[in-house]
Amino acid sequence: MYRGGFKLLEFTSLEEWWGRHLSDYYAAFRCLGETFDPAVDVTPLIRAHIEAQLHQVRALDLRERVQQRIWTAVEEAVTATGLEPRVANAVWDAFFGRSVTPRYYRPLADVSPATASNDLAAAVAAGFLRPEGKARSRRYQAGDGLYPRIGAALGVRAGESGDPARAIIIGELTKRVATERSK
């Protein structure tokens, strides 16, 4: 998975997974016994290792499918308000709690400084972003309209703003996507 571009430890390191499932980890090694025996059947250990990898792959797949739906909702919400589709990049980052600065946004959207300022101002006017700071230290966070719009587009009532709203949207969407997959 690491060579495939997935560099988050929770998806590329079995140590990360085993660390959160210590009882399973120790149970997997019980088949080996307390002393070395070349005749011991290591099948349970191999099976546990492969199952741990499968858990990681399934978690990554679920995360990717949830984020794909959020991205689609962000794109649709941005274009529905008449903003340029490229503004979805800034709105996406804000959705996940990241600050967006004009300096960061310019190369991301491949636009001039003036266009970046206009795009971000339009996203503020649409309620997707809210500015903090002044002049060169200005950055943009999720605006008051961001989570309600994205939640509504995904059929999730957030009822909150900021981090709690994002957690509700992601949590509900994750449950829904996981359920769809198991049917």
pLDDT digits (tens, 9 = 90+) for 19-39: 888 998 899 889 898 899 999
Q: How many CA atoms lie within 13 A of 115 on its CB side?
A: 12
Residue 174 sits in the same domain as residue 84: yes
83-94 pLDDT per residue, tens: 999 999 999 999
Decide: residue 91, CB within 10 A, 0-12 exposed, 13-18 middle, 19+ buried: buried
Residues 81 and 49 in one domain: no
Indicate if 96 and 137 belong to the same structural domain: yes
* Domain carrying residue 32: 9-62
More confident residue, 157 or 83: 83
Q: State how many domains the chain has.
A: 2
Claim to verify: residue 50 and residue 86 sit in the same structural domain: no
Q: Are residues 75 and 52 in the same domain?
A: no
DSSP state string for the chain: -TTTT---HHHH-HHHHHHT-HHHHHHHHHTT-SS--TT---HHHHHHHHHHHHHHHHHHHHHHHHHHHHHHHHHHHHHHTT--GGGHHHHHHHHTT--B-HHHHHHHHT--HHHHHHHHHHHHHTTSEEEES-GGG-EEEE-TTHHHHHHHHTT----S-HHHHHHHHHHHHHHHHHHHHH-
Report angle CA 113, 119, 125 to the nearest 5 degrees.
135
153 and 115, same structural domain? yes
Average pLDDT value over all residues in the chain: 90
Q: What are phi and psi of 105, to 5 degrees?
A: -70, -40
* pLDDT higher than threshold 60 for residue 15: yes
Q: How confident is the model at residue 137 (pLDDT cuts 50, 70, 90)?
A: confident
Same domain, 22 and 85: no
| Adjacent-strand bridge partners of 129 | 142
**Are 89 and 111 contained in the same domain?**
yes
Paired residues of 149 in beta bridges: none
The pLDDT value recorded for residue 159 is 75
Q: Is residue 4 part of a domain?
A: no
The reply to whether 108 and 75 lie within a common domain is yes
Assess if residue 139 is contained within a domain. yes
pLDDT at 10 over 70: no
Q: Do residues 28 and 87 both lie within one domain?
A: no
Confidence of residue 59 (pLDDT cuts 50, 70, 90): confident
Of 74 and 162, more confident: 74
CATH of the domain at 172: 1.10.10.10
pLDDT for res 135: 83
